[in-house]
Amino acid sequence: MKNILLKLLFVITVAVMMSSPFASCSPAGNGESDIVLRIGSTKPFKTTNKFADYWYGVLSNITTHDSLVKLDSEMNIVPWLASEWEISEDSRLFTFTIVEGAEWQDGEPLTAGDVAFSIEYYRDKDPQAGWMAEVIQSLSVEGNEVALHLEKPYGNLMTEFMTYSIIPRHIWQNVDEPLKYEGEERTIGSGPFRLVSWDEAAGKFIFEANEDYFRGKPNVDRLEVNTYANMDALVMALSRGDIDTWWDYSGEFPITHIPALKDAGVIDFATATFLGVPAALGFNLEQQPVSELAFRQAVSLAVNYRQIVDIIYAGYGIVPGGGFVPSTHPNYDESVAELEYDIEKARHLLDEMGIVDTNGDSLREGAGGRNLNLIMLTRADMTSLLRVAEMVAADLEAVGIGTTLKAVDSSTWVAAKDAMEYDLVFFRATPWGTLMHAGHGSGYFDSRRTGAGVLHNLDEPDYLESCDRRLETAPGAEQAELDRALQQMHAEYLPAIALVWLESVYPYREGWDNWVVDHIYGGVVNSFSWFELTRAS
């Protein structure tokens, strides 16, 4: 027994001594002078098929693959695989000129035919691109130009194409079921990096720079993406130097971890106003008394926004406005007022509606003389949102509105939300989510919309008409006017209220300069940073 234990101890000691150096040394590139960037993420990657794994699909969009256009840090649409484009006056013909010199990572040239094939492939094989079948009437290729003839004008087309990467026809043309495709060449794209390996047990991707990239070789020679199952381990890895920065598509870095990183003394932070809304409160407009505008106004007046900013988001944010989306959005309407916190006004509005406390138990009674007890639906897996919901419940109780908080997993949340089994619903609007449909968060509220966490709760005719007009209008003065009109209507009808506008923080290790912030693709890790980033001397 003693011998066995001694042998076991010996093996473990040898193992530790043998393997410790593997972790403590800096990951080496192919050469000593290689610039290696190590990124940490908590995303649950499962496969390197971009069609089958949502998170890998997003990662591939900024590494191995390219889209026609991208949104820069000023929210301008800028050329990428499309060097230029032309939109006809009636907004029904979009012509893209494909850049010269782009090629696939297996050496094949990237042509306008690949672009047309990709759009058709998404339309026919990818359920997420169902909108294409409704919008795109036909495609034609001439030389290095691809023309899209639309059934009807579609003002959001350019933004949509930012998220669909172009795939090689010679690889995918014989693949009928992209979700199940396991061929090794599935990772080949035209992007600035090529995938070298994915080790599931190690949770590690290794990418190397594409020397032949049409925009030139990226400034980073080798990219490592290390995954962690929890944020605490990732933050420790960042402090310890195992990774250089953090990546989460559309995510906000958890504010609670910032003090620890500041204490480490080797972390710098990039900041930008978050394009989405990290915590919002939606209303069930089919349910009394929430369907009454005055009641929704009373709720909006009862919420202590400053307290939410200070306590839940540690001051990294501002009190939101009534237009729902923050100032990062193009055509932001500054005339829409900031949401107000005024308990007395809230009480007054409720009193005027006849919702009063008659039995002296400090809770107001609703129909039938029973205490108001609003069902508040939220997601248990989003801890910040859960804390916000608890604070809002306390705020509402202060004005006499009773609530019951239902915190459930995401699938149950979706089912309950779509069945309208709530009075108030807490949700998170992602950056991309606020851009979809007619933009400025309208995709969440238009009653004809469904899916993607949307509330589809507002059916005011003028609102729906504005959405339709905005969808049919090409970028320009008229579109800007409609953008502002939508924000004003959000403040007027209150289908939902933002509870905070966040100042996002993106941490990275000292020694890196010139990061570019991308509002869509996750802070400092994006297609623009690859060409600006430098290693400090």
The 92-131 contact track toward another protein, x by CB under 8 A, reads ----------------------------------xxxxxx
At residue 307, φ and ψ (nearest 5 deg) are -65, -40
In whole angstroms, the minimum distance from the beta carbon of 239 to another protein comes to 7
Q: Is 422 in the site for another protein (CB under 8 A)?
A: no
Residue among 151 and 200 whose Cβ is closer to another protein: 200
Residue among 83 and 128 whose Cβ is closer to another protein: 128
DSSP state, 534?
E
DSSP state, 163?
S
Tokens of 38: 């190590």
Residue among 193 and 213 whose Cβ is closer to another protein: 193
List binders of another protein among 380-419 (CB under 8 A): 381, 409-412, 414-416
Among 6, 9, 15, 294, binds another protein (CB under 8 A): 15
CA angle 467-468-474, nearest 5°?
A: 95
Among 54, 269, 332, 531, binds another protein (CB under 8 A): 54
Q: Is 44 in the site for another protein (CB under 8 A)?
A: yes
Please report, for residues 48, 83, 110, 116, 208, the alpha-carbon distance to residue 67 in angstroms, rounded to integers and kept in the order given: 18, 11, 12, 12, 19
Integer-rounded Cα Rg, in Å, for the chain is: 26
Among 39, 41, 43, 53, binds another protein (CB under 8 A): 53
Q: Is 265 in the site for another protein (CB under 8 A)?
A: no
Tokens of 311: 């306590």
State the Cα–Cα distance between residues 449 and 139, nearest whole angstrom. Answer: 26
| Residue in 534, 454, 529 with CA at minimum distance from that of residue 62 | 529
In whole angstroms, the minimum distance from the beta carbon of 405 to another protein comes to 18
List binders of another protein among 69-98 (CB under 8 A): none
At residue 416, φ and ψ (nearest 5 deg) are -70, -40
Q: Is 256 in the site for another protein (CB under 8 A)?
A: no
Residue among 44 and 511 whose Cβ is closer to another protein: 44
Q: Is 14 in the site for another protein (CB under 8 A)?
A: yes
* CB atoms near residue 128 (< 10 Å): 14
State the Cα–Cα distance between residues 397 and 339, nearest whole angstrom. Answer: 19
The 467-506 contact track toward another protein, x by CB under 8 A, reads ----------------------------------------
List binders of another protein among 320-339 (CB under 8 A): none
The single residue listed with the structure tokens 């403590």 is 24
List binders of another protein among 235-254 (CB under 8 A): 236-237, 239-240, 242
Please report, for residues 159, 330, 400, 440, the alpha-carbon distance to residue 479 in angstroms, rounded to integers and kept in the order given: 14, 10, 42, 12
Among 278, 323, 441, 453, binds another protein (CB under 8 A): 453
In whole angstroms, the minimum distance from the beta carbon of 437 to another protein comes to 10
What is the 3-class SS of 285-329, one letter each residue? CCCCCCCCHHHHHHHHHHCCHHHHHHHHCCCCEECCECCCCCCCC
Contact of 508 with 245, CB cutoff 8 Å: yes
Those residues whose C-beta lies under 8 Å from the C-beta of residue 12, and which sit 6 or more positions away, are none
List binders of another protein among 149-208 (CB under 8 A): 179-180, 182, 197, 199-204, 206
Contact set with another protein (CB under 8 A): 11-12, 14-16, 18-20, 22-24, 44, 46-47, 49, 52-54, 126-131, 179-180, 182, 197, 199-204, 206, 226-230, 232-233, 236-237, 239-240, 242, 381, 409-412, 414-416, 436, 450-453
